[in-house]
A and B are shown apart, each in its own frame.
Chain A
Amino acid sequence: MSIMKPSKPIGIVGYGSYIPRYRIPNREIARVWKEGRTGVPIKEKAVPGLDEDTATISIEAARNALMRAKINPQDIGAVWVGSESHPYAVKPTSTIVAEAIGAVPNTQAGDWEFACKAGTEAMQAGIGFVAGGMAKYVLAIGADTAQGRPADALEYTAAAGGAAYIIGAAAESLAVIEATYSFVTDTPDFWRRPHAHYPSHGQRFTGEPAYFEHVMTAAKTMMAETGRTPKDYQFVVLHQPNAKFPARAAKMLGFEKEQWETGLLSPVVGNTYSGASILGLTAILDIAQPGDKILAVSFGSGAGSDAFSITVTEHITERAHAAPTTQDYINRRKEIDYATYARYRGKLLR
């Protein structure tokens, strides 16, 4: 058995999301770099404002998670932030968040990295931490302010956003995590060296041998070992670097459009990297009904996928609307042009 099941039942006690309000349409990026010619991968992406970064996004999402969980932040035993755009190479984002939400000083804190799956691995570790009796609650966050290299294909989708999950005992949870699984190999499809401002990638190599190999294998293994098939799930949410990959992967796995469309946010917010699949999960939890089953699979370049098999409980009903929903953040939108985007993202040399 390769999947991981905690020794005690564990679940999601609270969840929260945050998406910056600024949006730049893909056609605006194409206007600058391609004179508007050729297709674009998504409609628009979210851009962080001048005073926003992974720490601020994490704090907003964490506050929303606390509003839903209704717990004392002092009872949080670990604050873990996963990102590929931590504001510092050395100086943890997690302590900024822990201090801001009142979880300090008796708490574990640490920063995580594994490209776009840094948040889900913090969630996995959180399950073990709680089940092992090390903490009553763990706050696991995936958030990013991804930088897109100008004129590169990924500039169209590199976006900002994040989601926070408070992991605790199943009895208090709005959704129970019945099992989780991690499938990893050393596959260098996308990377960034310490001195580099922008990441590099292997173009078509990021598809079949990276994204599809890991997402599909993790999903298939999870379903095989839990004895489930696609029709057992009301929802599926996959890592979403663009609109095409997750739709194609879901279809290849045997899911229908109705199952994956609620969690597919990349067409309107872009690829929020460590926030991506878990932001999609918050959108599903916002409208899910008790008893609904969700299959969530993240993907991090380098590479690996974390799969979660989740069942929603009756607690979802009173908690989903205790904080702004992800759709509220999607609707709160201010369109900016390329010049403003270049300024906000620090692309203009002074």
Chain B
Amino acid sequence: MRDVSIIGIGQTPVGEQWDTGLRHLAYHALRDAMIDAGVERVDALYVGNMLSGEISAQAHLGALIADFAGMRGIEAIKVEAACASGAAAVRQGLIGVASGMQDVVAVVGVEKMTDNIGSKVTAGLAEAADADYETVHGISFVGLNALVMRRYMYEYGLKHEDFAAFSVNAHANGANNPNAMFRSPITEKTFLNAGMVADPISLFDASPMCDGAAAVILCPTDLAKQFTGNSVRIAASTIATDSVAIHDRKNPIWLQAAEDSARQAYKLSGYTPADIDFFELHDAFTIMSALSLEACGFAEPGQGTRLAKDGEITLSGKIPISTMGGLKSRGHPVGATGVYQIVESVLQLRGDAGENQIPNARVGMAQNIGGSGATIVTHILERNN
């Protein structure tokens, strides 16, 4: 099994890209990543995307994007794992390189949520849940997460304002990210005054619907030096699954798949939570931030919000999260998000994170969640130099 490194990254700004279509977004990110890596061709392309069929009446993205990007004929497929599609595609790319079957691989995550009206997109997102046993009852994806948040608040005696720090931190960091959808800091007051989407999830608990594409180029670590002095090693890449339906989970307010994939990632990389310099977690909803911190060993059960309130999640805290804005402020173009998290991790490890730079960042963790926690992909990345 070969060791794998990232030699190039690319991303488009996240937002309502009215003038840019699905294949164009993917092409821009892919092209930028290939230029960054200094490669003109790749052996294979993995495309991470969740909703292209529902929203744009377009499946078959592997072949479509390979061709549009000028790489007609190469091996190319789409990878889908709900909102974890992006990181899952990176893992497939890694497996291709690690196995020795592919040398230079491109992975692009792309999502175009604004090509359809709200109700269609909401119906598409609900496909991440269990159709026969959850969605059939009429619950939306936000509604499911609201139930989890409600139960968590009840079990641990928390109030809505206890989650404000996650949103405030995300927006503070997004303000310095030129590719972020929202670039204005917010105050706790903004958070508290926000209207409810699905009680207790308010507008500022939830990440936005948006468009974006991000890409990475992978190759064996041994070859990386030929391309760049700035490569980043993937020290661990793991996926764990859990029941899709929340009511089938052993503990509905515990991300078992996060604990499992993180534990495996720590074992493979040799790192522990104390070694992690920053954590690009899946803050689709503030409750997910709290649960992710707990399941990955950064906080005790029920103490995720405490960690946030104590300021430990900010750039200068013990475990900085959402360092470039996270899903909340940078945005959550669902199938692309997992690749954005890895691209941002690479920026941190290269020292290219600008005003959001974690000083001497050496080891970072990125975790992408599919659905309400049924597929969780964890990557641990470290500097090669």
Residues in chain A within 8 A of chain B (CB atoms)? 38-39, 202-205, 208-209
Contact = CB atoms under 8 A, between A and B. Distances in A.
Contacts of B117: 202-203
Contacts of A208: 16, 18
Dominant SS among interface residues on chain B: loop
B38 interface: no
Contacts of B19: 209
What 4 pairs across the A-B complex have the smallest Cβ distances?
A209-B18, A203-B117, A203-B118, A38-B195
13 contacts: A38-B195, A39-B195, A202-B117, A203-B117, A203-B118, A204-B16, A204-B114, A205-B18, A205-B114, A208-B16, A208-B18, A209-B18, A209-B19
A64 to B, nearest CB: 40
Nearest to B119: A203
A27 to B, nearest CB: 16
B360 to A, nearest CB: 41
Interface in B4-24: 16, 18-19
Contacts of A202: 117
A42 B19 CA distance: 30
Dominant SS among interface residues on chain A: helix
Contacts of B118: 203
A233 B16 CA distance: 34
Given A205-B114, A208-B16, A209-B19, 10 more contacts: A38-B195, A39-B195, A202-B117, A203-B117, A203-B118, A204-B16, A204-B114, A205-B18, A208-B18, A209-B18
Nearest to A200: B117
B41 to A, nearest CB: 36
A205 B115 CA distance: 9
Interface size class of B (residues with CB under 8 A): under 10
Interface string B100-140: 00000000000000100110000000000000000000000
A215 to B, nearest CB: 16
A149 B195 CA distance: 24
A267 B118 CA distance: 26
A188 to B, nearest CB: 12
A51 to B, nearest CB: 36
Contacts of A209: 18-19
Nearest to B195: A38
A39 B194 CA distance: 11
Nearest to A202: B117
A104 B140 CA distance: 59
Contacts of B18: 205, 208-209
Contacts of B16: 204, 208
Nearest to B209: A204
B255 to A, nearest CB: 31
Nearest to A209: B18
A202 B118 CA distance: 9
A131 B40 CA distance: 63
Residue of A38, A205, A208 ringed by the most chain B CB atoms within 10 A: A205
A208 B16 CA distance: 10
A204 B114 CA distance: 8
Contacts of A205: 18, 114
A202 B19 CA distance: 15
Nearest to A208: B18
A8 B302 CA distance: 78
A114 B201 CA distance: 41
A38 B203 CA distance: 12
A182 B117 CA distance: 29
B146 to A, nearest CB: 15
Nearest to A38: B195
B111 to A, nearest CB: 16
A204 B15 CA distance: 12
A228 to B, nearest CB: 29
B182 to A, nearest CB: 15
Nearest to A210: B18
A205 B209 CA distance: 13
A203 B116 CA distance: 9
Nearest to B115: A205
A38 B197 CA distance: 10
A187 B217 CA distance: 37
Residue of B18, B19, B118 ringed by the most chain A CB atoms within 10 A: B18
A202 B195 CA distance: 23
B57 to A, nearest CB: 16
Interface in B66-123: 114, 117-118
A234 to B, nearest CB: 34
A84 to B, nearest CB: 20
Nearest to B16: A204
Contacts of B195: 38-39
A130 B117 CA distance: 44
A30 to B, nearest CB: 13
A273 B254 CA distance: 52
A209 B15 CA distance: 14
Nearest to A153: B118
A38 B18 CA distance: 27
A263 to B, nearest CB: 28
Nearest to B19: A209
